[in-house]
Amino acid sequence: MARPQFPTTISGSLPKPAWLADPLEVWPKWRLDGDVLNQARLDATLMWLKQQEDLGLDIVTDGEQSRIHFVHGFLESVDGVDSANKIRAPIRNGRSIQTVPVVKGTISLKGRVHEQEARLLRAHTDRTVKFTLPGPMTCVDTSADAHYNDREKLAMDFAKLLNQEARALQADGVDIIQFDEPAFNVYMDDAVAWGIEALHVASEGLTCKTAVHICYGYGSDVNARWKASLGAEWRQYEKVFPALAKSRIDQVSLECARSHVPVELLGLLDGKDLMVGVIDVQDETVETPEEVAATIRRALQYVKPEHFIACTNCGLSPTPRPVALAKLRSLVAGTKLACEAL
């Protein structure tokens, strides 16, 4: 049998250049505005595309350079959501209080959301292009609802808008569309009851690969405290994966590096492509290639090689850029090491 070469990718976001926004903030402010901001975001996208290619990543993304936050970027393009008058509200079942936009009426898309970045990527690379969108449940959970009074109904309406944008992204030439659903690790019963169905609505009619990313969040202080409260074994995936295994979603991005997720839970997703997180985003200590290879070997006990994709645990925003670059170098080097040993 030929030795497998596992593809490498990132879960989504990359730190923004300091001239665009504070790279260390999860919810920063743009440092420019108007046409200058628009051009600067595209320039940052192109810079990170080149960087990902040079690092040797096989599946590339826009690094989410054109959105200030992985959810709010999409919500700014939704009519019925007031992003100009945000309020303070709890998110992720009260894990933190954040400044969020308010749903004030029936929602619809103002127009295209990510056309410019998607077409820019496609025009400048022959590699596999992945594009991330927030999942419907996470959209609900990262806004304040003053209109629907029904999380499931609001999620289904978000899912229809996400589907509209996802179909357009596919037409732009995107190869993989990934929905980010960190909320699945917080509301596991709802994820099974209606969250996966909302993903089906969001991905309906797509012929490109579809993916869902479920994680324990960015490397923020709030998330560090939450993770510390979860105990010795994190079994959240155990509730959602069996239902996800039966879903129409092709790929699942999950965390595995320096994580308390029992590795055998990966076996619950038999048949799916797994983007296995082999780079931690919480601890800035850079993984050695040997550490990455060891995580891959652990995961391979439960994932078939043909379904294995090496990835980061979560987005690399808000990681300092030199750390992010060093971690991505280890991701690629460690994956190569693991493949050579097979």
Contact residues toward Zn ion (CB under 5 A) are: 215, 314
- How far is the C-alpha of 242 from the C-alpha of 55, rounded, in Å? 35
Question: Parallel, antiparallel, or unpaired for β 251-255 and 176-180?
Answer: unpaired
**Residue 175, CA distances (Å) to 212, 330, 332 in order:** 14, 25, 21
Q: To the nearest whole angstrom, how small is the minimum distance from the Cβ of residue 33 to Zn ion?
A: 28
Q: Would you say 57 or 314 has its CB closer to Zn ion?
A: 314
**Residue 72, CA distances (Å) to 101, 192, 226, 300, 308 in order:** 8, 24, 22, 35, 31
CB 133 within 8 A of CB 180: yes
Q: Would you say 215 or 300 has its CB closer to Zn ion?
A: 215
Exposure letters 165-184 (e unless 16+ CB within 10 A, then b): bbbbbbebebbbbbbbbbbb
Q: Would you say 157 or 180 has its CB closer to Zn ion?
A: 180
Q: To the nearest whole angstrom, how small is the minimum distance from the Cβ of residue 256 to Zn ion?
A: 13
CB 304 within 8 A of CB 281: no
Q: Would you say 45 or 138 has its CB closer to Zn ion?
A: 138
Q: To the nearest whole angstrom, how small is the minimum distance from the Cβ of residue 240 to Zn ion?
A: 14
Question: Parallel, antiparallel, or unpaired for β 78-91 and 144-145?
Answer: unpaired
Q: To the nearest whole angstrom, how small is the minimum distance from the Cβ of residue 178 to Zn ion?
A: 10
Q: Would you say 154 or 314 has its CB closer to Zn ion?
A: 314
Q: To the nearest whole angstrom, how small is the minimum distance from the Cβ of residue 79 to Zn ion?
A: 27
Q: Would you say 255 or 287 has its CB closer to Zn ion?
A: 255
Q: To the nearest whole angstrom, how small is the minimum distance from the Cβ of residue 252 to Zn ion?
A: 12
φ, ψ of residue 310 in degrees (nearest 5): -85, 135
